[in-house]
Structure 1
């Protein structure tokens, strides 16, 4: 049990989420997702969570395990071409996890996702949440564009608005 992590999570309130990701930043994230959607047939979903709930925290749930849960809860897996990608931010840990559906996972090297997560995490540690989020979305879009270029008119299957959990 990591006492420092528990304390960080207990003190990461919704107010801190709103400070890190104010309305104008959420709008910028949504616009970035919309702009990137035109470049590929992948589906990007962005989710922000301030802290883990007590039971998950005391059971030692990792950001990765939580991201997989959120991937399922937000139905990111439920796209026609199995091309959904979740960018999950756990603010208390300043952690970023990317979970890709099987269609994307088969084509993108996990190291590429780790590189994006690391860059976003570094920006977040410097409290550059807006820049970190948008650069992460753009980097994700570049990978999707390489493997799933826009070649047909497809419906937007996932909301572009960031999910605040």
Structure 2
């Protein structure tokens, strides 16, 4: 366990995440997700986390492991065609992970997901959280639409509201 990582996580107050993702921004991102999902049969979720708790830090939990846990706990996997995609943002590690369900993951390479993560991280480094999330949602929507375009029945299966963990 890195002492630097340990201190970074435990010293990150919860209000920092809310400062960068205030209610109006969450509403704006929610609208972007809703608009994207009207063009395809997938579901996009966003989870934002400040820092890990002491137990997770002690166990050495990685951002990828937390992303997988959030994917499961938020039920992003629970879509009819297995086309759920989660963007996981961890503030303390300055990490972005994308977890996709098996339906969409069959068609999209890890390199494509990584490219979206890096673009989002670039926006975040500039402090442009709104544009970063909107660009990521748009890019993910285009990938989903290429393989799962909207059909006659296109229910909104999951909440579009970003979640702060």
Q: Establish whether TM, by shorter chain, passes 0.5.
A: yes
Give the structure 1 partner of residue 148 of structure 2: 148
CA distance in 2, matches of 1:27, 1:135: 16
CA distance in 1, matches of 2:125, 2:6: 18
Give the structure 2 partner of residue 59 of structure 1: 59
Q: Secondary structure at the match of 1:89?
A: strand
CA distance in 2, matches of 1:60, 1:153: 43
How many residues align? The count is 165
Give the structure 1 partner of residue 29 of structure 2: 29
**How much does 1:151 deviate?**
2.2
CA distance in 1, matches of 2:21, 2:92: 13
TM-align CA RMSD: 0.9
CA distance in 2, matches of 1:39, 1:13: 38
Unaligned runs of 5+ in 2: none
Q: Secondary structure at the match of 1:92?
A: coil
Contact in 1 for aligned 2:40/2:154 (Cα 8 Å): no
Give the structure 2 partner of residue 117 of structure 1: 117
Greater displacement, 78-87 / 1-10: 1-10
CA distance in 2, matches of 1:114, 1:130: 19
Give the structure 2 partner of residue 38 of structure 1: 38
Give the structure 2 partner of residue 101 of structure 1: 101
Query: Could you list the per-position Cα deviations for residues 116-162 of structure 1 after superposition, in whole angstroms to 9, with x for gaps in the alignment?
Result: 00111121122211111111111111111111111223211110011
TM-score scaled to structure 1, two decimals? 0.96
Query: Could you list the per-position Cα deviations for residues 53-81 of structure 1 after superposition, in whole angstroms to 9, with x for gaps in the alignment?
Result: 11111211100000000110011111111
CA distance in 2, matches of 1:35, 1:63: 28
TM-score scaled to structure 2, two decimals? 0.96
CA distance in 2, matches of 1:137, 1:18: 20
Q: Secondary structure at the match of 2:80?
A: coil
